[in-house]
Amino acid sequence: MGTIAFVGLGVMGWPMARHLASAGHQLRLFNRSAEKAHLFAAAYGGTPCATVAEAAKGADALITCVGNDDDVRQVTIGPDGGFQSLADGALFIDHSTVSAHLARSLAQSHPRIGCVDAPVSGGQAGAESGQLAIMCGGTEAAVLAATPILQAYGRRIVRIGEAGHGQLAKMANQIAIAGVVQGLAEALHFAAKAGVDPDALIDAIGQGAAQSWQMDNRARTMVEGKFDFGFAVDLMRKDLGLVLAEARANGASLPVAALVDQFYADVQKMGGGRNDTSSLIRRLA
């Protein structure tokens, strides 16, 4: 087992780091709130570090799970960033959802490091259970080297293509989710207005052509008005912003994604920015 610098002990990062610790990896920890790193170390082991550069020194891999492009830049190439101390041939695995441009730029400007953009799907539940789907961009050699690490919390690990392609796959994932959640919200809203029993409806259509992960896991909680399941509207809007910017650059037409992005803006205005993405139904009530 190797030494891993792990940066970002949030909703996703904490359980992912826990799986790495359970697999026997030696962790060097950095979190913007230092207290979290100390709490993790007390519970699962590892060494809290004052900077990312300190965490990355001597590490076989630097793994980041942070918020946005600026955050990734700060922890990699910023002052006290990890790239200044990461050894030649070490791995950089980024689980953040950021722009494909940034992923390509980091890989191209730091060829001495094996850079893998590896956004995930499966939410907090998938991170907790170690059943995440991981979309990887990078060279074949880098992804192959990263795979034994990713297997600690990944159920399915797929190399999509070169650097940036993991992020592009995550964007496609978010496009698909946005349309499905809106369709489910409208179906449940329509049924409620028509006086149809929601439990009977879900039982009737949940195993047919309308079946989806969202139907299986969110339909009943949407009906019950429960929206506290991890991936927040604020984060979805950040991701859809990346999607729409990429679409403007590559000429893709995304009318549904653009519309659902505005619907999520409505949910934010209703005070639902921290609700999970199934809260789209709130604006139809």
Of the chain, the percentage scoring pLDDT greater than 70 comes to: 100
What are the tens digits of pLDDT across the range 68-84? 999 999 999 999 999 99
What are the tens digits of pLDDT across the range 143-183? 999 999 999 999 999 999 999 999 999 999 999 999 999 99
Would you say the CATH fold of 169-284 matches that of 3-162?
Answer: no
Q: What average pLDDT does range 221-249 have in this prediction?
A: 95
Judge whether 226 counts as a catalytic residue: no
In the predicted structure, residue 270 carries a pLDDT above the cut 70: yes
In the predicted structure, residue 276 carries a pLDDT above the cut 90: yes
pLDDT band at 229 (very low <50, low <70, confident <90, very high): confident
For residues 226 and 200, give the distance between their C-alpha atoms in angstroms, rounded to a whole number. 19
What are the tens digits of pLDDT across the range 47-73? 999 999 999 999 999 999 999 999 999
In the predicted structure, residue 30 carries a pLDDT above the cut 90: yes
pLDDT band at 285 (very low <50, low <70, confident <90, very high): confident
Domain borders along the chain are: 3-162, 169-284
Give the Å distances, CA to CA, from 171 to 36, 126, 141, 164, 248: 29, 18, 24, 11, 13
What are the tens digits of pLDDT across the range 189-198? 999 999 999 9
In the predicted structure, residue 224 carries a pLDDT above the cut 70: yes
Span of 195-199, 228-232, 235-239 with lowest mean pLDDT = 228-232
pTM for the complete prediction?
Answer: 0.95
Helix (H) or strand (E) holding 171: helix 165-193
pLDDT band at 1 (very low <50, low <70, confident <90, very high): low
Burial class (CB within 10 angstroms; exposed 0-12, middle 13-18, buried 19+) of 43: exposed
What are the tens digits of pLDDT across the range 205-218? 999 999 999 999 99
Check: CATH 2.30.110.10 for 3-162? no
User: Which residues neighbour 244 within 8 Å (Cβ) at sequence distance 6 or greater?
Assistant: 254, 257, 258, 261
Q: Which of 170, 226, 238, 269 is catalytic?
A: 170
Q: Looking at the domain that runs over 169-284, which CATH code has it been given?
A: 1.10.1040.10
What local confidence, expressed as pLDDT, does residue 230 receive? 73
Closest CA to 63 of 42, 23, 233: 23
